[in-house]
């Protein structure tokens, strides 16, 4: 499937920090939704050494609006420092688009 639709639930988004995130305690995805409201999603670490994580816990309310979502993955390490991944743009389409 090349398009993502409003209220879609069967979806997995992969993120690559392009560096090791060994020692991280969490990966949070800061999300700016169409219209400007913000929220956070909790990602799952896929591989600490290669710095990859993913998010797949979509419900019918995760993507409620069509438009562009901006996703900024950020990790926090046990010593309190952090690192951010590049911002991803996710285009979400309405029904029949």
For 32-62, how does the pLDDT look when each residue is reduced to its tens digit (9 = 90+)? 999 999 999 999 999 999 999 999 999 999 9
Contact 58, 5 (CB under 8 A): no
In a domain, 87, yes or no: yes
In a domain, 70, yes or no: yes
In a domain, 28, yes or no: yes
For 84-97, how does the pLDDT look when each residue is reduced to its tens digit (9 = 90+)? 889 999 999 999 99
Q: Domain of 53: which CATH number?
A: 2.60.40.1220
In a domain, 97, yes or no: no
* pLDDT value, residue 55: 96
Whether the predicted pLDDT of 79 surpasses 70: yes
Contact 96, 37 (CB under 8 A): no
What range defines the domain where residue 48 resides?
4-92
- Single out the residue of 55, 61, 11 nearest to residue 30, CA to CA: 55
**Rounded to the nearest 5°, which phi and psi values hold at 11?**
-155, 145
In a domain, 79, yes or no: yes
Measured distance CA(74)–CA(72) in Å, rounded: 6
* Domain count within the chain: 1
């Amino acid at each position: 499937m090349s398009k993502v639709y409003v209220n879609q639930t069967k979806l997995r988004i992969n993120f690559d920090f392009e560096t090791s995130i060994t020692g991280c305690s969490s990966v949070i995805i800061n999300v700016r939704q169409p219209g400007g409201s913000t929220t956070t999603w909790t990602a799952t670490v896929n591989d600490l050494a290669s710095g990859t994580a993913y998010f797949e816990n979509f419900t019918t309310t995760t993507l409620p609006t069509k438009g562009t979502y901006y996703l900024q993955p950020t990790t926090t390490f046990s010593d309190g420092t952090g690192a951010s991944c590049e911002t991803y743009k996710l285009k979400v389409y309405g029904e029949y688009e």
